[in-house]
Amino acid sequence: VDVARRAGVSIATVSNLLNGRDARMGAETRARVERAIAALGYQPNRAARLLRTGRAGMIGLLVPSISNGSYAALAHEVEAVAQAHDHRLIVSNTYRDPALERSLLDDLLSHGVRGVIVISASGLQDAAELAERGLVAVEYDSRAWPGEPPVMDHVSVDHAAAAALAVEHLATQGHRSMAFLSPAGRTLSRAAKIAGFRKAAHNAGVRATVLEGQGASAFGDSELAEIGEALSARIVAHPDRPTGLVAVNDMMAIGLLAGLRKAGWSCPEDVSVIGMDALPLTAYTLPALTSIRSPQAEMAALMVERIARRIADPALPAEEFLFSPSLVDRASAARPPMPERDHP
Amino acid sequence: VDVARRAGVSIATVSNLLNGRDARMGAETRARVERAIAALGYQPNRAARLLRTGRAGMIGLLVPSISNGSYAALAHEVEAVAQAHDHRLIVSNTYRDPALERSLLDDLLSHGVRGVIVISASGLQDAAELAERGLVAVEYDSRAWPGEPPVMDHVSVDHAAAAALAVEHLATQGHRSMAFLSPAGRTLSRAAKIAGFRKAAHNAGVRATVLEGQGASAFGDSELAEIGEALSARIVAHPDRPTGLVAVNDMMAIGLLAGLRKAGWSCPEDVSVIGMDALPLTAYTLPALTSIRSPQAEMAALMVERIARRIADPALPAEEFLFSPSLVDRASAARPPMPERDHP
DNA sequence: TTGAAAGCGCTAACAC
DNA sequence: GTGTTAGCGCTTTCAA
């Protein structure tokens, strides 16, 4: 109203300009309005705009814990993409609690958020219902139900391939007995990694063990590292004497490295360790951690783009996108101590 | 409207119940309304509420980069507190760019956000103007201008004390020459740490050097670690032979550790290193990193509480809150190699 | 090319 | 105790 008055036009004209409907607006009128906007330092009230249009200019991100380095890195990428589209990012910790997840989703909806990226332990149950209520959700790092057409978009790295990459790298170095380390809870992504690990080990003809730690709902950096450290005791005592270790993620690998060291084993001389996520800091551990990297920036860009497209066209069929992981070859994975000799 | 119709009451009654004005509402009416709400799965539209009341139920958090572990940890704490108050958290990366910071703040305002926590390199210039426009800002980890009454709330750990803690710990172990390592840009918190370092070193009667790396705007984990690694070369070549090293934060310390190691120096035998932030992962480095911890959870709680109080009462005088850091004594700081002998 | 007016869903002042 | 109603700031037909 103030801008319109100052420019001597109606509020509709101002609104038209603001919303790009200025194709055939008088150049002089446009200039007057623009001057008024600048002079008044006017900024549109987004709440009112949202109320009217249903578009909030915000997207949601639900992560188990934002202090987990891997999710923090994802959040960074997502925020960067969102910022480039002039959108804000609402972040919430879900602690892998499905009920909380659910209520957070409801709440985002009531805030006018129409698009959300979710990292869910168990998969979103009522995706269809959410879609009906106008919420476009994309699941990160979880797969659709095999066989059925996906009910929502899934953007994930190929966890099975990631595990296979680790196994093959170790097998190439000569390891014949490997172990996969994970916390106790079976999230979808962990299950996929474990399956991939088993299959690749089978294909490579090596012995495979899966070791699960305590603490079902571990998602914080310290819990993860702690579990890794605790698991090292089971490694050194294991009858199969695994020499190639694959950790479900980098923080577990870091804990594992510390535990192994305390037990007097050195890496990579006595055991090889491969992590997953390729966090920046893994380049600086001792030894520098060999790890598996996901193309997070591209995944973030795709997720935001999919959300934008499905908001524009809700009929857009859901798809599953699978990204290929890559191995970051550093110092923690090398040849096993004495290949084959004491295991005929 | 739907709820009111179903419950056979007016919308005002529904609104009254929803907003706690139900003190003298008929028990039977209340029950009917509640049943209708449940049956319809009704959720209030927050955009409309915001438009009417000006309260968005969201708070903002502006960090240089959310992928930086220390800010991610802070974000986690802040989100937890906000969630407990049924508020959502909007997070944005500022990349330490004052212009971006400024436009993000404007944008949050237009989204209806009334409270924001800012980590700013240079301090918020126009805090007074923001306050006038209805934005309550709290600065994290930066101090008010000394002498003048603070124009906004500041919540910070005492950086000078943190540096002093590190210096004293090293001095107690016998170190007589120390260096402080930092990236090149002088943020307020870095400046405070450096001043505290210098002063404490002077008090302890030890030699003090401040070494700055390249890369003025380093806030990402990898840049920080990289600078730390690069700085190690200047340490080993330094004429003063500093044996006690204090890094501006943990990621730099981790990079430093890696660089020193490559140069053939071992820690803590040849040099001692102390980091700052006490990130969870520092318990698992080799050697486990001695570091300085801030009470982040308490600081987060205070910031959210201050925001709530100042929104309720804009006249509330601004204050500066200083928290005491504590030393986490681990393995990276010990006695210097040969105390005093080759430096008469 | 511009303007008038309806209405998004809610809250709160006020009337009953 | 409960209901009526104005209006938050905006977008968007529709009319001029």
pLDDT interval class at B216 (50, 70, 90): low
DSSP 8-state code for residue B250: H
Q: How far apart are CA A81 and CA A299, in angstroms?
A: 11
Residue whose CA is minimally distant from D2 C1': B13
Average pLDDT value for chain B = 92
Contact between chains at B83 and A93 (C-beta distance less than 8 A)? yes
Minimum CA–CA partner of B83 in chain A: A92
What is the strand order of the sheet A177-182 is part of? A207-212, A177-182, A244-247, A272-276, A290-293, A326-328
3-state secondary structure of B178: strand
DSSP 8-state code for residue B10: -
Contact between chains at A281 and B66 (C-beta distance less than 8 A)? no
- CA B249 from centre of chain: 12
The Cα of B261 is separated from the nearest Cα of chain A by a number of Å equal to: 9
Q: How far apart are CA B278 and CA A74, in angstroms?
A: 22
- CB of B65 within 8 A of CB of B100? no
Could you tell me the two tokens for B47?
A: 């955009």
Of the candidates B29, B91, B37, B85, the residue with the CA atom closest to the CA atom of residue B64: B91
Dump pLDDT digits (tens) for B121-144.
777 777 788 888 899 999 999 888
pLDDT above 70: percentage of residues in chain B: 98
Average pLDDT rounded to a whole number, residues B329-338: 94
- Token pair 């980091």 in the structure block, residue: B275
- pLDDT higher than 60, residue B339: no
CB under 7 Å from strand C = A 8-13, 16, 24-26, 29-30, 48, 51-52; B 1, 11-12, 15-16, 18-19, 44-45, 48-49, 51-53
Q: For residue A32, with 0-12 CB atoms within 10 Å meaning exposed, 13-18 middle and 19 or more buried, which class applies? A: middle
Residue B28 has a pLDDT of 87
Question: What are the φ and ψ backbone dihedral angles of A52, each rounded to 5 degrees?
Answer: -80, -45
Dump pLDDT digits (tens) for B279-315.
999 999 999 999 999 999 999 999 999 999 999 998 8
Residue B122 has a pLDDT of 74
Three-class secondary structure assignment of A293-339: ECCHHHHHHHHHHHHHHHHHCCCCCCCEEEECCEEECCCCCCCCCCC
- Token pair 């572990």 in the structure block, residue: B69
When CB atoms are compared, the residue of B58, B72, B83 closest to A67 is: B72
What CA–CA distances, in Å, run from B213 to A84, B121, B230? 30, 17, 8
- Token pair 């999710």 in the structure block, residue: A71
| Neighbouring residues of B284: CB distance < 8 A, sequence distance ≥ 6 | A225, A229, A254, A255, A257, A258
Question: For residue B279, which residues of chain A lie inside 8 Å, CB to CB?
Answer: 221
Contact between chains at A47 and B111 (C-beta distance less than 8 A)? yes
Q: Which nucleotides of C are covered by protein (CB under 7 A)?
A: 1-5, 7-13
Q: How far apart are CA A181 and CA A160, in angstroms?
A: 15
Q: Which nucleotide is nearest to A110 (CA to C1')?
A: C9
The Cα of B123 is separated from the nearest Cα of chain A by a number of Å equal to: 22
- Token pair 């795709």 in the structure block, residue: A302
Who has greater pLDDT, A117 or B342? Answer: A117
Contact between chains at B221 and A43 (C-beta distance less than 8 A)? no
Residue B143 has a pLDDT of 87
Q: How far apart are CA B197 and CA B333, in angstroms?
A: 16
- CB of A195 within 8 A of CB of A158? no
- CB of B95 within 8 A of CB of B122? no
The helix (run of H) or strand (run of E) holding residue B62 is: strand B58-63
Residue A129 has a pLDDT of 84
Minimum CA–CA partner of B65 in chain A: A76
Where would I find the H helices in A19-61?
27-40, 46-53
The Cα of B113 is separated from the nearest Cα of chain A by a number of Å equal to: 10
Angle at CA of residue A54, ends A48 and A60, nearest 5°: 105
Average pLDDT rounded to a whole number, residues B159-170: 98
- CB of B273 within 8 A of CB of B334? no
Residue A2 has a pLDDT of 87
Residue A247 has a pLDDT of 98
Contact between chains at A47 and B45 (C-beta distance less than 8 A)? no
First to last CA, chain B: 86
Could you count the other beta carbons within 10 Å of the beta carbon of residue B99?
A: 8
B156 CA to D8 C1' in angstroms comes to 37
Positions of chain A with pLDDT under 70 = 216, 339-344
What CA–CA distances, in Å, run from A49 to A44, B7, B110? 8, 31, 10
Residue A344 has a pLDDT of 37
pLDDT interval class at B341 (50, 70, 90): very low
What does the CA dihedral B72, B73, B75, B77 come to, rounded to 10 degrees? Answer: 170
Residue A23 has a pLDDT of 79
Please spell the DSSP secondary structure of B79-125, one letter per residue.
HHHHHHTT-EEEEEE-TT-HHHHHHHHHHHHHTT--EEEE--SS--T
pLDDT interval class at B255 (50, 70, 90): very high
Q: How far apart are CA A131 and CA A314, in angstroms?
A: 8
Residue whose CA is minimally distant from D11 C1': A52
Average pLDDT rounded to a whole number, residues B3-23: 88
Residue whose CA is minimally distant from C7 C1': A52
pLDDT above 90: percentage of residues in chain B: 73
Of the candidates B177, B152, B179, the residue with the CA atom closest to the CA atom of residue B163: B179
Type of residue at A16? N
- pLDDT higher than 70, residue B269: yes
Please spell the DSSP secondary structure of A161-228, one letter per residue.
HHHHHHHHHHHHHT--EEEEEE-SS--HHHHHHHHHHHHHHHHHT-EEEEEE-S-TT--SHHHHHHHH
First to last CA, chain A: 86
Dump pLDDT digits (tens) for A24-80.
788 888 889 889 999 988 889 999 999 999 889 999 999 999 999 999 999 999 999
- Token pair 């800091």 in the structure block, residue: A281
Q: How far apart are CA A2 and CA A241, in angstroms?
A: 77
What is the strand order of the sheet A88-93 is part of? A320-323, A153-157, A136-140, A115-118, A58-63, A88-93, B88-93, B58-63, B115-118, B136-140, B153-157, B320-323
Contact between chains at A47 and B112 (C-beta distance less than 8 A)? yes
Q: How far apart are CA A319 and CA B136, in angstroms?
A: 43
Q: Which nucleotides of D are covered by protein (CB under 7 A)?
A: 1-5, 7-13
3-state secondary structure of A56: coil
Q: How far apart are CA A333 and CA A267, in angstroms?
A: 8
Peptide bond into A295 cis (omega under 30): no
Q: For residue A270, with 0-12 CB atoms within 10 Å meaning exposed, 13-18 middle and 19 or more buried, which class applies? A: middle
Minimum CA–CA partner of A223 in chain B: B280
Question: Which residues share a beta bridge with B137?
Answer: B116
